[in-house]
């Protein structure tokens, strides 16, 4: 069966954690689309050529999760030809048989406007910056909290303000604000949203695909 879950939202809102948990719960495949832009940014040279020739090897680099790689990704992601070059791969992944979860910025609005479930995950900038800062080591992190908060705000501004496929919720997306939720509670809400849609489509019993 084809069933697409689109999970969008700003950096460090919890998209990745929620998407991985959804994929594991329902037995779907998962694509972190931010990794595509990170790999393009990390490859260097002409970003359009990098996007057009992106390989498995590029996606397997171990330096794609750094703050610097996120920054580079956010910059190449403003180039329409880069975005265009990555569309087909994402759409093919979304419609693979067996179900798919894609997380990013424009999945519900541009890549998969027909997705069966769209979730827009948010959290206050201070909460997201604190998560990033703690991940990087807290008091022993190389950047003070205020600097990480500034980076989060700058990235939001670029992702929201770009002309092509800006970050915004699809009209029919369910908003999930994780500011005051534990990971388990946020995942439980997302699972409930998907289970409700599967059940409405008569495709599942007890929240599991049949
Ligand atoms: O989710 P992330 O932090 O790995 O994403 C890195 C950058 O890539 C993000 O700041 C904007 C860009 N991106 C995008 O424009 N569209 C997507 N679907 C995913 C990421």
Q: Read off the pLDDT of residues 7-44 as tens digits, 9 standing for 90 and up.
A: 999 999 999 999 999 999 999 999 999 999 999 999 99
pLDDT higher than 90, residue 67: no
Q: How far apart are CA 30 and CA 40, in angstroms?
A: 19
pTM for the model:
0.93
DSSP state at residue 168:
-
* DSSP-derived secondary structure letter, 41: H
pLDDT score, position 204: 58
- Span from the CA of 205 to the centroid of ligand 1 (angstroms): 34
143 CA distance to ligand 1 centroid (A)?
A: 21
Closest CA to 145 of 162, 160, 126, 161: 126
Q: What is the pLDDT of residues 166-208, one digit of tens each?
A: 999 999 999 999 999 999 999 999 999 999 999 998 775 555 5
CA 34 to ligand 1 center in whole angstroms: 4
pLDDT (average), residues 110-124? 98
CA distance 19 to 22: 5
Distances (CA, A) of 105 to 50, 111, 172, 195: 20, 10, 15, 23
Q: Quick one: which atom of ligand 1 is closest to the CA of 37?
A: 8
Task: Name the residue with tokens 């329409």.
Answer: 80
The structural domains of the chain, ordered by start, are: 4-178 (3.40.50.300)
Joined tokens for residue 4: 């697409």
The SS3 assignment for 206 reads coil
Whether 210 shows a pLDDT value over 50: the answer reads: no
């Amino acid at each position: 069966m084809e069933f697409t879950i689109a999970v969008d939202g700003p950096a460090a809102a919890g998209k990745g954690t929620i998407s991985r948990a959804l994929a594991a719960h329902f037995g779907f495949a998962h694509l972190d689309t931010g990794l595509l832009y990170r790999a393009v940014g990390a490859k260097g040279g002409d970003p359009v050529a990098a996007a057009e020739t992106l390989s498995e090897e590029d996606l397997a680099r171990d330096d794609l999760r750094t703050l610097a790689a996120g920054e580079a990704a956010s910059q190449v992601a403003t180039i329409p030809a880069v975005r265009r070059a990555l569309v087909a791969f994402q759409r093919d992944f979304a419609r693979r048989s067996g179900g798919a979860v894609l997380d990013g910025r424009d999945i519900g609005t541009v890549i998969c406007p027909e997705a069966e479930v769209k979730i827009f995950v948010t959290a206050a900038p201070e909460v997201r910056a604190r998560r990033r800062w703690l991940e990087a080591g807290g008091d022993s992190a190389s950047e003070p909290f205020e600097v990480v908060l500034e980076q989060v705000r700058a990235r939001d501004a670029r992702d929201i303000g770009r002309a092509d496929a800006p970050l915004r919720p699809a009209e029919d997306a369910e908003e999930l604000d994780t500011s005051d939720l534990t990971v388990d509670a946020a995942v439980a809400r997302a699972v409930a949203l998907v289970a409700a849609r599967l059940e409405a489509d008569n495709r599942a019993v007890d929240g599991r695909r049949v």
